[in-house]
Amino acid sequence: MGAPGAGKGTQARLLEERRGVSHISTGDILRDARRAGTALGREAERYMAQGLLVPDDVVIGIVADRLAAQNHSRGFLLDGFPRTVRQAEALDRILGEGNGRLDAVLSLTVPEDELVRRLAGRRICRQCGAMFQLDVDPAARVGRCDRCGGELYQREDDREETVRARFEIYARDTAPVLRYYRDAGLLREISGVGNREEIFKHVAAILP
């Protein structure tokens, strides 16, 4: 967990690569559906372009289907879910139906000004999804991915005016989820400031 730009996706991908856990990103699933023009993608489009949260029922269904469809023998990592208390309660029900349990809820904390800077400078590869940051982790070639050569672009919801709206939504809807998991004894909070390897050392030390 963490506010937009806190580094959730970056750390999730490192955990997937180095520990072999299944990485379930609701944001990636919705963006893929959006690009493909599916019914789910069209529904998500109306909300995501404005930095709004996609309705709970849609996201809960996505996660339930993905957990049921895949083998998670080495564990799974949820990235971008749950984002509301209602989603957290639904996740408890889903896990209670035989889909495993939560070992920990990791929250990355980053000052808001730093988050705005990160998001405004974030660029993503259209082909492989690799992420770059113009100030601290730029691509070697302007506008091109170092991994596959694909075109780099800025997500609509990373523009500053949309980013500010996303922070307001996070404070209103998602921050209460931290209290939910703190009360359950699952919340682990660490600083998300620093380079990805430094942060990963703290992440790896906390997670079982």
Any idea which residues carry the catalytic annotation? Answer: 8, 83, 122, 155, 166
What backbone torsions phi and psi does residue 58 show, to the nearest 5 degrees?
-65, -50
152-153 and 187-191: which strand pairing? unpaired
CB contact at 8 A, 58 and 90: no
Q: Which two tokens mark 86?
A: 């209602």
Q: Are 53 and 95 in contact (CB under 8 A)?
A: no
* 95 alpha-carbon distance from chain centroid: 20
Q: Residue 51, Cβ neighbours under 10 Å: how many? A: 21
Q: DSSP state, 84?
A: S
DSSP string, 50-71: TTPPPPHHHHHHHHHHHHHHS-
DSSP-derived pairing of the beta strands 105-109 and 187-191? parallel
- Burial class for 74, CB neighbours closer than 10 Å (0-12, 13-18, 19+): exposed
